[in-house]
Chain A
């Protein structure tokens, strides 16, 4: 194998190793980007919708208390807007079902909210429920807490998934870095070995040949040098040997 191919193969192998490490790191970084997007799409939006559902529930609870105090118009207005806020966000969450168990949780919320709504849809003002704290604490408040708890469970479910995906991101960032670190270390070792072999098989024979040529010129010491490889260096040594031999035989003839 010729010197050119040997040296080229060294650089090519090194480049290939760095190229693959680079491509892999880029791929991992891209996948980190898509994981971040997944967290936003799958979990954060659901959590945001659930929080607004909770806010709507709180406002409905306040509105019921207003109705119990006899403030019909104010209470009904707040109930109407809070209900539409809850339904809107619930529909949004229902369209964004992305994790296992989320659909079941939404069905639970829907059922519990239906029961809760039935309680406050019936007239309160000018009925026996107006000012009836016993009715509020025994029926309405329990139902309200049930729905709120179900919404909290939905938030927990998405929170857990968000944490899990974030942990995966940590592992992925490690995977993006590691090929680079290994490539750098491998390149350093590779360079050391490459340097050693170039010195041993190329530089060192040339130095030895130079010394032998000098000795030949000065003292006519025979040019006998051993080259282990069968490449241009060996051919050069052979050519110099032939040259020295021809010079010596010409001198002997003279």
Chain B
């Protein structure tokens, strides 16, 4: 393991953060708010750590898988760390725990917050808060690679380390092309949504903040009431459309842009994702009609926005979902566990694994009926190996296990069961709001300090898809890492 090479690539991720800190500082300066110095100083410290390794370490085009994994995990952890700097330096409600929670929630695109009054934050700091979503949404390393010139084999290794195998399978391109597609679709969606929101009456700053949060499926709004602040069906519709688009595999979305609609509709994952969302909205609307709202239009409006927001792991809100009947609340829990497609910016277990689990369950039923038959699991006419099915099942089991352990620890800290469980589901799936006291109109401010650290951990575990994080903290990984 060559620590200096790891340092060079991590430095690039830090420079990307420094760039956004600089933009936030500029916004703060022109707005004349008091976040200018905290943002500027954070940007400078981050830039110094980013520049220094680039001066010393010459470029290396060849890196090992182990180094790639280390670069990815370290980039996430250090980005979260430098993300806390402007919050800590600004002060207010931000002590170390709160700043870390807000930063991790931003980079992992969770969107959970400890802030009780978001509108009290200065403009520059609000922009930085949303920038963390945008940087983290597409993956820090993917973002860095997309702006760098081609760096050889290292690019392929880093691409493989940053995204899960499930995502790679739908990209029929080389790493360089896949990165360009991801970045292109990501930036394109952000620009389109910003323009649409501005046309619908939002000011440019709010439009940018909400576009960053939607396309990254994050959920940070600059308003205390989230999207409900605008009371605008047009704005809600635009955000719904972009939440659905951001939950789709970017490769398939790019195919549609290039005119290949057949692949898109043929994908069983996409069909399941859209149908599940449609069913969720219809069932919730039917359930909340009468008990929450008397109007069918309002019931559909509330259900469409909030179910899709949770189902794509965005986390915006237009209604207090803690007041919804138990059936709708459980539906939200299901969608917070499942979330959207692999290859999108969404978190959670992913619809791809749910489809795989469903098909392997059907295969097992068939095998029980016909013991001698050899029946493969097929996804989109392609046979899936037993090892892939096994990995999918194991991932879901470990995922649910972590949610259970986190809930257990939080209840030990005195958090009520509903808030602890829904909070664990929402943070692990990078959704944002849960139910109970951490619901769509609540926040995580009242959670005990240790609880906030547990939730921060589940956010990171969910974002890094569990395994990378565990491997990073395995002692064997660090053997002979630092050698002169």
User: CB within 8 Å of B: which residues of A?
Assistant: 1, 5-6, 9-10, 13-14, 16-17, 20-21, 24, 27, 171, 174-175, 178-179, 182-183, 186, 189-190, 193-194, 196-197, 199-201, 203-204, 228-230
Q: Which of B45, B53, B484 contacts A186 (CB 8 A)?
A: B45
Nearest CB in chain A: distance from B475 CB, A: 20
Q: From A179, which residue of chain B is reached at the shortest CB distance?
A: B41
* Residues in chain B near residue A175, CB distance under 8 A: 37-38, 89-91
For residue A80, give the distance in angstroms from its CB to the closest CB of chain B: 51
Is the Cβ of A178 less than 8 Å from the Cβ of B88? yes
B44 interface residue (CB < 8 Å to A): yes
Q: 3 tightest CB-CB pairs across the interface, nearest first?
A: A197-B56, A199-B484, A171-B91
Query: Shortest Cβ distance from B468 into chain A, in angstroms?
Result: 23
A-B contact pairs, 11 of them (CB 8 A): A9-B52, A16-B44, A24-B37, A171-B91, A171-B92, A175-B90, A178-B88, A178-B89, A196-B482, A199-B484, A200-B4
Q: Which residues on the A side are within 8 Å of B85 (C-beta)?
A: 182
Q: Which of B70-106 contact A (CB under 8 A)?
A: 85, 88-92
Complex-state Cα separation, A204 to B48, whole angstroms:
25
For B37, the closest partner residue in chain A by CB is A24
A172 to chain B, nearest CB (A): 8
Q: Which of A20, A174, A199 contacts B44 (CB 8 A)?
A: A20
Bound Cα distance from A63 to B227, whole angstroms: 65
Determine the chain B residues whose CB is within 8 A of the CB of A179 once the complex forms.
41, 89
**What is the size, in residues, of chain B's interface with A at 8 Å between Cβ atoms?**
25
Are A230's CB and B52's CB within 8 A? Answer: no
When distances are taken between beta carbons in the complex, the residues of chain B under 8 Å from A17 are 44-45, 48
Contact bitstring B126-145, A, C-beta under 8 A = 1, else 0 = 00000000000000000000
| Interface contact B3-A196, CB-CB below 8 Å | yes
Q: How far is the CB of B102 from chain A (nearest CB, A)?
A: 16
Cross-interface CB contact of A204 among B89, B482, B484, cutoff 8 Å:
B484
A-B contacts, CB under 8 A, total: 75
Cβ of B484: which chain A residues have Cβ within 8 Å of it? 196, 199-200, 203-204
Complex formed: what's the CA distance from A6 to B56 in Å? 7
Are B53 and A193 in contact (CB-based, < 8 A)? yes
Given contacts A17-B44, A175-B89, A200-B484, are A190 and B52 in contact (CB under 8 A)?
A: yes
B382 at the interface (CB under 8 A from A): no
B95 to chain A, nearest CB (A): 9
> What residues on A are CB-neighbors of B89 within 8 Å?
175, 178-179, 182
Please name the residue on chain A nearest to B482 by beta carbon. Answer: A196
CA distance A27 to B425 in the complex (A): 45
B466-484 residues with Cβ-Cβ distance < 8 A to A are: 482, 484
Most buried by B among A5, A21, A193: A193
Given contacts A17-B44, A178-B91, 15 further A-B contacts (CB under 8 A): A6-B56, A9-B52, A10-B52, A21-B41, A178-B88, A178-B89, A190-B48, A190-B49, A196-B4, A197-B53, A197-B56, A200-B4, A200-B484, A201-B56, A203-B484
Residue in chain B with minimal CB distance to A207? B484
Any chain A CB within 8 A of the CB of B58?
yes
Asked if B294 CB lies within 8 Å of chain A CBs, one says no
Known A196-B4, A201-B56; contact A16-B88, beta-carbon cutoff 8 A: no
Residues of B within 8 A of A204 (CB): 484
Q: How far is the CA of A201 from the CA of B482 in the complex (A)?
A: 13
- Among residues of A, the one whose C-beta sits closest to the C-beta of B57 is A197
B463 CB to nearest chain A CB (Å):
24
The minimal Cβ–Cβ distance linking B358 to chain A, given in whole angstroms, is 48
B51 at the interface (CB under 8 A from A): yes
Q: Which residue of the partner chain B has the closest CB to A201?
A: B56
Closest to B56 in A: A197
- Within the complex, what minimum Cβ distance (angstroms) separates A34 from chain B? 15
Q: Is B55 an interface residue (CB 8 A)?
A: yes
User: Does B7 lie at the interface of the complex (its beta carbon under 8 Å from any beta carbon of A)?
Assistant: yes
Q: Which residue of B lies closest to A189 (CB)?
A: B49
Complex Cα gap A171–B53 (Å)? 35
Contact A20/B41 with A174-B91, A193-B7 known, Cβ cut-off 8 Å: yes
Q: Which residues of B contact A21 (CB under 8 A)?
A: 41
Q: How many angstroms between the C-alpha atoms of A21 and B484 in the bound complex? A: 32
Q: Which of B7, B48, B55, B58 contacts A16 (CB 8 A)?
A: B48
Contacting pair B4 A9 (CB below 8 A): no
CB distance from B181 to the nearest CB of A (A): 34
Q: Report the bound CA distance from A119 to B57 in whole Å.
A: 89
Q: How far is the CA of A10 from the CA of B58 in the complex (A)?
A: 16
Docked Cα-Cα span, A55 to B45, in Å, equals: 57
Question: Given A171-B91, A182-B88, A228-B58, are A197 and B51 neighbors across the interface (CB < 8 Å)?
Answer: no
Q: Contacts A175-B91, A182-B85 given: A197-B4 contact, CB under 8 Å? A: yes
CB distance from A215 to the nearest CB of B (A): 20
Once the chains are docked, how many angstroms separate the CA of A169 from the CA of B38? 17
By a CB distance below 8 angstroms, the chain A residues around B91 are 171, 174-175, 178
Among A1, A10, A197: residue with most chain B CB under 10 A: A197
Q: Please indicate the chain A residues that have their CB under 8 angstroms from the CB of B52 in the complex.
A: 9-10, 13, 190, 193-194
Q: How far is the CA of A17 from the CA of B42 in the complex (A)?
A: 10
